[in-house]
Amino acid sequence: MNLRPDQLPDLLGKPLAPLWLLHGDEPLLVLEAADAIRAAAKRQGFEERETLVVGQGFKWDALALAAGNLSLFGGAKLIDLRIPGGKPGRDGGEALQRYVASLPAQTLTLITLPELDWQARKTSWFKAVSEAGNCLELKAPERERLPDWVGRRLAVQGQTASADALAFIADHVEGNLLAAHQEILKLGLLHPEGQLSLEQVRDAVLNVARYDIDKLRQAIIEGEPARCARLLEGLKGEGAAPPLVLWTLANETRTLASLCAGRDAGQPLPALFKAERIFDPRRQQALGRALGRLNQGRLRAALMHAARIDRMIKGLVAGDVWDEFLQLALRLARHA
């Protein structure tokens, strides 16, 4: 059954359905919804949790084994199935259909996925899972609704702000909810409950000038490795939010990858620029030059690199985030 995200809080106060499916284009919202379901499950007696992460070499027999293994404590069990790539493959699709056709007793199953395209939504496995349980799509708020989203988040920590202050935060984070989340938490630490002034918000929010971010984007496209290194060092020194820097690098990589794939498929660049909503002639020329030194292999590797940095920022993988930013920028800026 397809549900709206605003229905989730009410459902968590009732006996939980045995199957939940979360997917969407905003990792923060998917993560928070999953955390809320896991917390509610623990309150309702699901003491044991078994986490399965679908990756290269994953054996789908593990899902059936997890369902068949009784809880070590003799109670209810939560199976936390994560499919980061969004595509379980033929074997996985068949395993999921078998699984939801006969859900195990005393077991709650939580399946999390990234954003799914229209092809994935039409697959038999997705239809079977979404019809067998509660399905929520978590999407980022539209740009014009982002100030309201920020306002609701501030209200949770007992703070309010003027429309100008909310708009300032929304403009600063450029639609990056992870960065917005960091700024909201920081305001909660710096100021007591109550009304926040525009001056307080301006002073607290990371002053990472979008001009500097744009310079980094330009240095990557123009193929200037040394300039990339200087700009990243400056952003680090100013205390730039890593999610905001990652968003810039990943977004530019995705744009280049899309253009490169279309070019290699024989599509004309003007049509590709139009599809990507790139209308500035200077940016079109710079991207055209960048495509001359990049190929699909390098861009796929860059996207995988960005995904690894995302895991570092979330604390799932060890490493120096800023050093990885530099390596990713150099991967994109260096000439072959």
Residues 120 and 241 in one domain: no
What CATH number is associated with residue 252? 1.20.272.10
Q: Would you place residue 35 in the very low, low, confident or very high pLDDT band (cuts 50, 70, 90)?
A: very high
The pLDDT of residue 209: 40
- 21/133 same-domain check: yes
pLDDT at residue 140, rounded to an integer: 84
**Predicted pLDDT of residue 211:** 42
Residues 247 and 297 in one domain: yes
The SS3 of residue 29 is: helix
Q: Which H or E element spans position 180?
A: helix 177-190
Mean of per-residue pLDDT scores for the chain: 88
Does residue 249 register a pLDDT over 70? yes
Domains contained in the chain, number: 3
Q: Examine the pLDDT at 196 and tell me if it is beyond 90.
A: yes
pLDDT band (50, 70, 90) for residue 37:
very high
Q: For residues 255 and 213, what is the distance between their CA atoms, to the nearest angstrom?
A: 16
pLDDT band, very low/low/confident/very high, at 242 (cuts 50, 70, 90) = confident
Q: Which of 88, 112, 137 is the last residue of a domain?
A: 137
> Quick one: pLDDT at residue 235?
83
Say what the pLDDT of residue 212 is: 66
Q: How far is CA 239 from CA 26, 68, 109, 201, in A?
A: 24, 49, 40, 16
Q: Are 177 and 29 in contact (CB under 8 A)?
A: yes
Q: Which of 65-69, 100-104, 213-217 has the highest mean pLDDT?
A: 100-104
Edge-to-edge strand list for the sheet holding 48-53: 2-3, 134-137, 19-23, 107-112, 77-82, 48-53
302-to-94, 223, 239 alpha-carbon distances in Å: 32, 15, 24
- What pLDDT is recorded for position 10? 92
d(CA 276, CA 257): 11
Residues 190 and 286 in one domain: no
- Alpha-carbon distance of 200 to 160, in angstroms, equals 12
**Mean of pLDDT values over 212-233:** 86
Phi then psi dihedrals of residue 310, to 5 deg: -60, -40
Do 236 and 258 have their domain in common? yes
pLDDT-derived band of residue 51, with 50, 70 and 90 as boundaries? very high
- pLDDT average, residue stretch 238-263: 87
Q: Is residue 41's pLDDT more than 80?
A: yes
Q: Return d(Cα 33, Cα 22) in angstroms, integer.
A: 8
Q: Are residues 184 and 275 in the same domain?
A: no
Q: Which domain holds residue 281?
A: 211-333
Q: In this predicted structure, what is the pLDDT of residue 317?
A: 87
- For tokens 């038999």, name the residue: 124
Tokens matching residue 316: 């799932």
Handedness of CA 238, 241, 244, 248 (dihedral sign): positive
Pair (217, 308) in one structural domain: yes
Residue 82 and residue 51: Cα distance in Å, rounded?
Answer: 8
User: pTM for the whole thing?
Assistant: 0.59
Note the Cα 14 to chain centre separation in Å: 28
Q: Is residue 221 over pLDDT 50?
A: yes
